[in-house]
C-alpha cells in the first residue's frame, strides 16, 4: 500500500542528490549526448533533468513508472549494476511516491511527445505534450508527503553540495556527454562533451586546477598477483589498467572529494584506491591535503565486488594489493616524468 511504498522510498531516496543520480543514470542509459540538470533550492524545491536520449513512447511512459519494471537487463556481477543496485526498475516509481513527478518524453526515432505526472504515488493519465526529442524528468517538492523524511534534509547549501558532487562525478566519468548544472538560475558548470578529459576538468574545476594536471599512463598494466614465477597463468588478463589525470603535489584541497576514482567507468569509493593515490605522492603532500585526481581503473568484471554497500558506491577487489600497486605505480611514473 501507499504507506509501505513511502517508507521503502525513504530508505533508497535519501536526498535530492539521490534523485539526481538516478535521473542522470537513466539519461546516460538512454544514450544521451547532452544532459542538463537544473535544481532550485538545493534540489529540495525542484530537480529537472533533460536529455537528448532515445526518449519514450506513450506506452513506454506508462511502463516506466510501474513497480519493478525495467527495460534494461543487468546481471548481478555486472558493474553496470552499481548505479541502480537495489533500485532496478524502481527509481521512477519510488521517486514518484515521495514527490510530484512529471515526465515528458518524445522518441528520438520519431513520433509525438507525451507527458505523465505522478503525485505522491498517484499516477495520472498519459497526455500529449509538445516536447523536443528526448526526455525531461521534473521532481518537485521531494518528501512533501513524508515529513519525517523531509526533516532529515540539511540546508539548501549542503543539499546543493551533494547534488554538485554527483553531477561532477558523472561529468568527469563521461567526457563525451555535454553536461550542464544550473542552480537557482545560475550556471554552475557546463562541459563541452567533446570527449576530452582535460577540457572537462577545466569546465568543472577551473583553470588553476586544470593547468596543474599530469597525465597518468594509458594502459599501465601489471600481471596478476604472484606472477609467472609463482606459477600464475602468463596469459591471464592483467589485474588492472590505470589512466587519467592527477594534480601536481602543491595543488590540493582539504577535502577528499576531489579525488575521483572510476572502476570500469562507474564512480566508486574505495579506501584502497585513495590510499594508493596518496602513497604515490610519497610524502610530498601537506598533511591532511588531498590532490585532485580523475582516475579510470579497468579491471575484469569478475575481479570486483560491487555489493559492499549499494548506496555508498563502495567496491572491493579480489586482488586488492595488486590493484593498489597498479594505481600507485602509474601515478608515480607520471609524476616522475614531470620531474616531481
Select the span of 63-71, 192-200, 212-220, 254-262 touching ligand ADP (CB under 6 A): 63-71
Q: Give the interface size with ligand ADP as a residue count (CB under 6 A).
A: 21
Residue 201, interface with Mg ion (CB under 5 A)? no
Select the span of 23-31, 138-146, 184-192, 260-268 touching ligand ADP (CB under 6 A): 23-31
C-alpha cell at 314: 563502495
C-alpha cell at 250: 602543491
CB nearer to ligand ADP: pick between 18 and 252? 18
Nearest distance from C-beta of residue 29 to ligand ADP, angstroms: 6
CB nearer to ligand ADP: pick between 61 and 270? 61
**Residue of 92, 240, 322, 330 that binds ligand ADP (CB under 6 A):** 92
Q: Are 47 and 139 in contact (CB under 8 A)?
A: yes
261 binds, among ligand ADP, Mg ion, none (CB under 5 to 8 A by kind): none
CB nearer to Mg ion: pick between 135 and 247? 135
Residue 27, interface with ligand ADP (CB under 6 A)? yes
What are the C-alpha distances in Å from 213 to residues 116, 202, 248, 316, 340? Answer: 45, 10, 6, 27, 12
Select the span of 19-27, 186-194, 267-275, 328-336 touching Mg ion (CB under 5 A): 19-27
Q: Are 39 and 46 in contact (CB under 8 A)?
A: yes
The Cα–Cα gap between 305 and 78 comes to 9
Select the span of 18-26, 130-138, 146-154, 228-236 touching Mg ion (CB under 5 A): 18-26
309 binds, among ligand ADP, Mg ion, none (CB under 5 to 8 A by kind): none
149 binds, among ligand ADP, Mg ion, none (CB under 5 to 8 A by kind): none
CB nearer to ligand ADP: pick between 215 and 310? 310
The Cα–Cα gap between 222 and 260 comes to 22
82 binds, among Mg ion, ligand ADP, none (CB under 5 to 8 A by kind): none
- Between strands 293-298 and 259-263, the pairing is parallel
Residue 19, interface with Mg ion (CB under 5 A)? no
CB nearer to ligand ADP: pick between 130 and 231? 130
CB atoms within 10 A of CB 233: 10
CB nearer to ligand ADP: pick between 85 and 303? 85
**Residue of 9, 24, 30, 82 that binds ligand ADP (CB under 6 A):** 30
Nearest distance from C-beta of residue 190 to ligand ADP, angstroms: 19
Helices 16-29 & 156-173 angle (0-180, nearest 10): 20
CB nearer to Mg ion: pick between 98 and 323? 98
Q: Are 133 and 115 in contact (CB under 8 A)?
A: no
Binding footprint of ligand ADP on the chain (CB under 6 A): 22, 26-27, 30, 51, 53-56, 64, 70-72, 84, 88-93, 135
Binding footprint of Mg ion on the chain (CB under 5 A): 26, 91
Amino acid at each position: 500500500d501507499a504507506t509501505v511504498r513511502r517508507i521503502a522510498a525513504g530508505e533508497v531516496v535519501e536526498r535530492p542528490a539521490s534523485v539526481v543520480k538516478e535521473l542522470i543514470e537513466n539519461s546516460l542509459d538512454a544514450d544521451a549526448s547532452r544532459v542538463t540538470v537544473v535544481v532550485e533550492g538545493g534540489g529540495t524545491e525542484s530537480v529537472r533533468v533533460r536529455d537528448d536520449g532515445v526518449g519514450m513512447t506513450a506506452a513506454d511512459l506508462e511502463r516506466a513508472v510501474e513497480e519493478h519494471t525495467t527495460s534494461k537487463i543487468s546481471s548481478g556481477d555486472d558493474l553496470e549494476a552499481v548505479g541502480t543496485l537495489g533500485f532496478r526498475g524502481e527509481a521512477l516509481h519510488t521517486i514518484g511516491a515521495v514527490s510530484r513527478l512529471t515526465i515528458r518524453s518524445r522518441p528520438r526515432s520519431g513520433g509525438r511527445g507525451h507527458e505523465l505526472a505522478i503525485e505522491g504515488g498517484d499516477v495520472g493519465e498519459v497526455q500529449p505534450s509538445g516536447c523536443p526529442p528526448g526526455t525531461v524528468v521534473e521532481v518537485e517538492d521531494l518528501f512533501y508527503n513524508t515529513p519525517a523524511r523531509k526533516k532529515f534534509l540539511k540546508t539548501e547549501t549542503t543539499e546543493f553540495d551533494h547534488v554538485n558532487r554527483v553531477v561532477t562525478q558523472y561529468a568527469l566519468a563521461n567526457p563525451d556527454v555535454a553536461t550542464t548544472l544550473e542552480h537557482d538560475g545560475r550556471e554552475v558548470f557546463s562541459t563541452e562533451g567533446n570527449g576530452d578529459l582535460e577540457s572537462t576538468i577545466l569546465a568543472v574545476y577551473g583553470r588553476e586546477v586544470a593547468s596543474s594536471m599530469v597525465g597518468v599512463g594509458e594502459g599501465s598494466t601489471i600481471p596478476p598477483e604472484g606472477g609467472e614465477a609463482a606459477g600464475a597463468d602468463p596469459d591471464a588478463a592483467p589485474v588492472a589498467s590505470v589512466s587519467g589525470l592527477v594534480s601536481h603535489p602543491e595543488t590540493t584541497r582539504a577535502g577528499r572529494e576531489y579525488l575521483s576514482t572510476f572502476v570500469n567507468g562507474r564512480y566508486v569509493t574505495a579506501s584502497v584506491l585513495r590510499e594508493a593515490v596518496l602513497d604515490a605522492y610519497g610524502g610530498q603532500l601537506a598533511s591532511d591535503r588531498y590532490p585532485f585526481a580523475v582516475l579510470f581503473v579497468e579491471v575484469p568484471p569478475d575481479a570486483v565486488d560491487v555489493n559492499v554497500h549499494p548506496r555508498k558506491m563502495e567496491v572491493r577487489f579480489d586482488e586488492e594489493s595488486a590493484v593498489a600497486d597498479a594505481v600507485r605505480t602509474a601515478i608515480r611514473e607520471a609524476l616522475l616524468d614531470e620531474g616531481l
